Amino acid sequence: KAGVTQTPRYLIKTRGQQVTLSCSPISGHRSVSWYQQTPGQGLQFLFEYFSETQRNKGNFPGRFSGRQFSNSRSEMNVSTLELGDSALYLCASRQTSGGPPDTQYFGPGTRLTVL
């Protein structure tokens, strides 16, 4: 089975621009979560989608948004980029949402640099 894939792997943007990141979960996985990873802050949870519905949301401003498609692929959008948005954005998929917890599998991440 193919793992979680994320595109693009690297991205350079300037302040004020917007960006869209994509995540394809493992086949059969219906839950997709997004995290922001920065040095010293660890992983900060952004949001989780399951069956095209947002199930959970972290404490990030409204500039961060996401969506999930019927094939479970997910996109994350950041509008009006700020320098502090520079980070590694990780996507993780799980087979289910709720019920007995199953393992979360991570993608390689998208490294976003805001200049």
Partner 1 sequence: AQTVTQSQPEMSVQEAETVTLSCTYDTSENNYYLFWYKQPPSRQMILVIRQEAYKQQNATENRFSVNFQKAAKSFSLKISDSQLGDTAMYFCAFMKQVPGTYKYIFGTGTRLKVLA
State the binding string over 83-102 for partner 1 (x if CB under 8 A, else -).
-------x------xx--x-
Q: Is the CB of residue 58 less than 8 Å from the CB of residue 34? A: no
Is there binding between residue 34 and partner 1 (CB under 8 A)?
Answer: no
Output 25 or 107, the one with its CB closest to partner 1.
Answer: 107
Output 20 or 104, the one with its CB closest to partner 1.
Answer: 104
Residue 68 CA to residue 5 CA, distance in Å, equals: 15
Output 44 or 79, the one with its CB closest to partner 1.
Answer: 44
Work out the burial of residue 111: count CB atoms within 10 Å of its CB; fewer than 13 is exposed, 13-18 middle, 19 or more buried. Answer: middle
